[in-house]
Structure 1
């Protein structure tokens, strides 16, 4: 058993049998890359926690996002890192756990509030250990201009056929660009395109796990079908979409020039501030009426315990609170579009955020297909999916050829696909 796994198991056993007095009189330093969240922590999160836990003080000390990994690794190696480590999903945090820097939290009481999908971003490949408490996810779908839909007499589409009928109607009217998305920056085509609509075709976690196990291939119908849909998108993205950047697309939509925006929920706060029209959202339309719907409910941010902390009991007390309904409500309402991964009840004040999170009640949640394990080798499947999605949208590569290229790249280094 790894040292940090053993320490975590012993720690959790101690915590479950201990008393509140054990967690008194400690100051916890929190490392994070979310420097834009500083005032939220200072004004809302920290006061709420400290009011309920007067013996524990929190100090939030973020680094610049681009520098976080390097700064954190340097501090951990020097023994000067904080007690609480904010965790990026998948391989970056897994490397910290494997190096003994993060404690196994599998037995933490609050972990019972999270599903396996929620924990997937911060678990070992075999799922035997989870080393960060999941804090938030982002959900993918489509944001639309309600005024434009009302003006054109359009209903929210629920099937692929209805989706393209709506796009055709918007294009025929000519008053709006049907969808605001460019291909210049590439990642949008994969993130808001392929991995947005794809789960409906590969059946979410069922298909993603089958791909990991080598039981499905990227050339199977469920993985080629989303490329077939993307191949139709180019006709609806507006003149010059090939050179259109991500900020360009945001501006086109918020200025009211496009009717639909393929979206991640992180857009909500910015769009609320910039758009002067009412917005709605719809989940990716299913291939056929009556099909189960699937959404990309992607793990985005977690938080864990430095294995070298001098205050493990206090840190565990804080992490259990992060798993609670109180924290979830504070965080979700302070940052609309970043959704709690906990099963604890949460009431969202923002109507657009509430629309996104409501899809969890009717659709199955999954995460982006390329993020767990499959982008460790060369060629990197995530980056290859970017350029393949762009090539398909632009008509430079057929859906079948794009899928075959991705499969060839993956099977060149990933043993289960060989």
Structure 2
């Protein structure tokens, strides 16, 4: 069914379950803040379906660039002038807002959160009381985006082992094509951390996260060091001038067909299509040493939407949050943005999204984000500060691993 018809049908279905209300009744406006400026048009269409079914509520979407969002939100909340609903970062970045009393728990008012998998809800739980403080919207997976036209033109098949991956890189490089668009300069080293997080599961396996959390393993474990080494040994296949290439430049190399592959997360699907509708691409799980039908991939809760405690429109805002927790929202989110939704009951005809949904079937937590961004210094801050030097050979993987371990050891307490 075309998306426009699906939106109309969902709006009608929602409207059918909504009690009749006089058109003379006053419309209440609920403000919702988000950092995803690139999603503004899509989110407008999604909430138009909600408004069609709930004509008494207007959702006022307000977008602030990610770099400025957290500061704007924190300042507004401190002054009692925040939104009714706020898009929230996950895991450790959520906790300060909960501890300050800026958010309402949602266990009773939005019961559908409990229907979502732990991969989604793990990012919205308060460590203090174990309650949900946000409605998750997506569980991204990390994988290798690839230009299907370049692969086909150069006789390259999707690799199922790491040896095949290296052979594919060699073949593409010999043809004058950059095998992997990659860069993390100018403050964008988070994109390189994603590469490390993507490779890791194929080396350290599904049990490693639990071992790290219980103290049986640390970042100096040979398996994590092997992950860093593998990421570094791919340098010959990364973009020329790797140390000076930033995330935006590397994405443009892939989008414009100058590079055959890109290490990234699910959010890239919609972004790539929006920037180049003619780009032919798909995604595969980074392969390990042995072929498998269900490769292990890293996944995490991207974020959530929470109810601001000072909101004067909690009843209407709670209706909006229940919509965000619904199967209808999940399907619209997947259709509009091309991301795997937080709920598993989503279908898609988009081959890229279908591949990512399949990848959700065998996941392990994105280690540095899920486990080690709860206090400072975070694992991410050290990885991002030193990963370029490691790839360039200025420091060893062992040194980076030791630095990460020393940083998180100042606050991380294992739970045997």
TM range (shorter): 0.7 to 0.9
Q: Deviations over 1:215-242 (max 9, x none)?
A: 3111113312211211311121243222
CA 155–405 in structure 1, closer or farther in 2 if over 3 Å, else same: same
The yes-or-no answer on 1:133 pairing with 2:135 is yes
Preserved CA contact (<8 Å) 2:93 2:374:
no
2:60 maps to 59
Residues of 1 paired with 2:279 and 2:98: CA distance? 46
Q: 1:40 aligns with which of 32, 39, 42?
A: 42
More helix by share: 1
1:376 maps to 375
CA 75–244 in structure 1, closer or farther in 2 if over 3 Å, else same: closer
Residues of 2 paired with 1:376 and 1:233: CA distance? 31
1:405 maps to 403
Displacement after TM superposition at 1:85 (Å):
1.8
Q: 1:149 aligns with which of 148, 151, 158?
A: 151
1:352 maps to 352
Q: After superposition, where does 1:17-416 map in structure 2 within 5 Å?
A: 26-42=28-44, 44-107=45-108, 108-125=110-127, 128-171=130-173, 173-185=174-186, 187-188=189-190, 190-204=192-206, 206-272=207-273, 273-274=275-276, 276-290=278-292, 293-336=295-338, 338-343=339-344, 345-361=345-361, 363-374=362-373, 376-378=375-377, 380-416=378-414
Partner SS for 2:138: strand
Q: Deviations over 1:306-360 (max 9, x none)?
A: 1233343333322121111211122222222x331113x2233433233222211
Q: Which moves more between the two structures, 309-318 or 221-230? A: 309-318
Residues of 1 paired with 2:387 and 2:266: CA distance? 21
CA 287–188 in structure 1, closer or farther in 2 if over 3 Å, else same: farther
CA 373–195 in structure 1, closer or farther in 2 if over 3 Å, else same: closer
Q: TM-score, normalised by structure 2?
A: 0.84
Preserved CA contact (<8 Å) 2:146 2:262:
yes
Where do 5+ consecutive residues of structure 1 fail to align?
Answer: 1-18
CA 235–85 in structure 1, closer or farther in 2 if over 3 Å, else same: same
Paired residue total = 391
CA 53–183 in structure 1, closer or farther in 2 if over 3 Å, else same: closer
- Measured on the aligned residues, the alpha-carbon RMSD in Å equals 2.8
Partner SS for 1:27: strand
2:14 maps to none
Preserved CA contact (<8 Å) 2:124 2:303:
no
Q: Which moves more between the two structures, 88-97 or 29-38? A: 29-38
Partner SS for 2:75: helix
Displacement after TM superposition at 1:384 (Å):
0.9
Residues of 2 paired with 1:198 and 1:320: CA distance? 36
Preserved CA contact (<8 Å) 1:230 1:392:
no
Displacement after TM superposition at 1:122 (Å):
1.6
CA 317–410 in structure 1, closer or farther in 2 if over 3 Å, else same: same
Preserved CA contact (<8 Å) 1:212 1:374:
no
Residues of 1 paired with 2:94 and 2:301: CA distance? 13
Displacement after TM superposition at 1:387 (Å):
3.5
Residues of 2 paired with 1:40 and 1:251: CA distance? 22
Partner SS for 2:160: coil
CA 366–291 in structure 1, closer or farther in 2 if over 3 Å, else same: farther
CA 37–292 in structure 1, closer or farther in 2 if over 3 Å, else same: closer
CA 56–256 in structure 1, closer or farther in 2 if over 3 Å, else same: closer
Displacement after TM superposition at 1:407 (Å):
1.7
